[in-house]
Amino acid sequence: MLAQTARLLGQGTRANSARLFTQSTRVLQQQQPAAAASVSRSSLFKRAGKAFLKLTLFTGLAGTAYVSYQLYREKNPAPQQPQAATFPNGSPRKTLVILGSGWGAVSLLKNLDTTLYNVVVVSPRNYFLFTPLLPSTPVGTIELKSIVEPVRSIARRAPGEVHYYEAEALDVDPVNKTVKIKSVNTEHEYQLDMKYDYLVNGVGAQPTTFGIPGVVENSSFLKEISDAQEIRMKIMTSIEKAASLAPTDPERSRLLSFVVVGGGPTGVEFAAELRDYVDQDLAKWMPELSKEINVTLVEALPNILNMFDKSLVDYAQDLFKQDRIDLKLKTMVKNVDKTHITAKCGDDLTKVPYGVLVWATGNAPREVSKNLMEKLEEQNSRRGLLIDEKLQLIGAQGSIFALGDCTFYPGLFPTAQVAHQEGEYLAKVFKKLHKIDQTKWELAQDNTNDPKAQSKLNRLESQIQPFHYEHMGALAYIGSEKAIADLAVGESKYRSAGSFTFLFWKSAYLAMCMSFRNRILIAMDWTKVYFLGRDSSV
């Protein structure tokens, strides 16, 4: 009985063992594909990681090599073809005089084949100023040296020799084709009448006060480097003066009131930069005083940034309210004294105290443009030089061109984008004009009325098409590391706002810079502010 029981138990144990072995085998067989898949995925991730690192390394090396090459080219320009009275075939080389060193003039100079003309640049400012970032300079977000490019550097990179005069154009004689210039160097003063065959007026515009009393005497404009330096000095001086006064002193409140007049991009971006400086930097070093600072933006129209879509304007205005920028819309300045502006909103007159007043609205023609307008009967506009669809000055018989802020033509606004495209267009025009002039000279030498030659001349003249402005959109920084963009790509419209748009705003402005040197300096300034903050010293 006991033996039989033991035999039965042994058989059961063997059966259980066999069953357990079978189950274990099945589990292992099921786990093996999972383990293999896990190993496969791990291997795939390793390969992808290595490929990504290699791509990153290659991209970094390629980018470094490209930037180094561009910097080397900028620092080591190629030899230039010297100016001469004639071309090798004996035809006269015409003189092209460019007035100004702004967006239009420099865009023309960079794209022009300077071997086709004796090119002369006349400007009292011996550098090109990247004006879109000028509002960032008074508070130290961008250094002034980072947004300037010497005219001589730009001219030296041209294929043909370019002569530059650091002088101001005083008067233009469209009959005798001369321009009177005067040096700005007081230690070496000179005046001379410069002959030209073609003249390009790109002198820009000056701020307008709309005849409002006290604006010139008491406010600061924001068009030149000297303006930015003056505004910075006034801001820092007002803050230091206010810090020495008691919190209850009304003079302290006035000194800490900063007023910006003008709701265009310049006024809006400066107000935004000023608010950023107060909130991000001054609040750390002078926390109590920074809370008392008031930034006010005054605009005569119902809203700011009229060139943008209504949704973007609303976004910007809402952000200004959140950032404690006081918006005074539909408010027209009537008078300015040393401590207050008098403004009219509806039927009410109000006085707004200020410690610093920045005037960022309106353009008016410069004196040289006014003088030229008076000499031509066809020039009957006070807004600027009247030009035709080919940027020729009306009434100047095709020898004078004008571009940029000094001009007036329906549909073309005084923006850097317009002036830049006009400069590129004129560079192509002058290349075609050279062919036309060469053909005319050849016809005069042959002294014949060959119909084929005349047909060729007519064909060349018909190739000069009217200027067509392609609007690429508008960008504006509105503070708190946010921006708005109203872009146009073909017939499509793209609108965006926020922090991502701010990164796009930065990228777009870097791409627009005239040199890699400027791009690197501006990027370094942004990096420095991000890690170290803005400098609060004068």
Task: Among 463, 487, 507, identify where a domain stops.
Answer: 463
pLDDT number for residue 288: 94
Helix (H) / strand (E) element for 201: namely: strand 198-201
Q: Is residue 327 in a domain?
A: yes
Q: Is residue 230 in a domain?
A: yes
Helix (H) / strand (E) element for 16: namely: helix 2-75
Rounded Cα–Cα distance for residues 479 and 316 (Å): 9
Taking the chain (538 residues) in runs of 10, the rounded mean pLDDT of each run is 46 52 54 58 79 85 84 87 94 97 97 97 97 96 96 95 97 96 90 96 94 95 96 96 94 97 96 96 94 96 94 96 95 96 93 96 93 90 92 92 95 93 97 93 78 80 92 95 93 92 96 93 96 87
Rounded-to-5 percentages of helix, strand, coil across the chain:
45, 25, 30
Residues 250 and 350 in one domain: yes
Residues 296 and 435 in one domain: no
Residues 125 and 185 in one domain: yes
Total number of domains in the chain: 2
Task: Among 429, 444, 463, identify where a domain stops.
Answer: 463
Helix (H) / strand (E) element for 193: namely: strand 191-195
Residues 107 and 198 in one domain: yes
pLDDT number for residue 18: 52
User: What is the CATH classification number for the domain harbouring 190?
Assistant: 3.50.50.100
Torsion from C-alpha of 153, 520, 205, 390, nearest 10 degrees = 70
Helix (H) / strand (E) element for 32: namely: helix 2-75
Q: Is residue 78 in a domain?
A: no
Q: Is residue 40 in a domain?
A: no
Helix (H) / strand (E) element for 259: namely: strand 257-261
Q: Is residue 79 in a domain?
A: no
Q: Is residue 25 in a domain?
A: no
Q: Is residue 477 in a domain?
A: yes
pLDDT number for residue 38: 62
Say which amino acid occupies 277.
Y
Q: Is residue 115 in a domain?
A: yes
Residues 245 and 353 in one domain: yes
Residues 409 and 337 in one domain: no
Residue 518 domain boundaries: 220-361+472-532
178-185 own/partner pairs: CB under 8 Å, 24+ apart: 179/97, 179/99, 179/122, 181/122, 184/124
Residues 393 and 449 in one domain: yes
Rounded Cα–Cα distance for residues 282 and 435 (Å): 60
Render 221-257 in DSSP notation, one character per residue. Answer: E-SSHHHHHHHHHHHHHHHHHHHTS-TT-HHHHHHTE
pTM for this predicted structure = 0.88
The neighbouring-strand residues paired with 167 are 183
Residues 235 and 177 in one domain: no
Residues 99 and 197 in one domain: yes
pLDDT number for residue 2: 40
State residue 180 phi and psi, 5-degree precision: -90, 125
Residues 240 and 293 in one domain: yes
pLDDT number for residue 490: 80
Residues 384 and 483 in one domain: no
Task: Among 407, 437, 463, identify where a domain stops.
Answer: 463
Residues 201 and 135 in one domain: yes
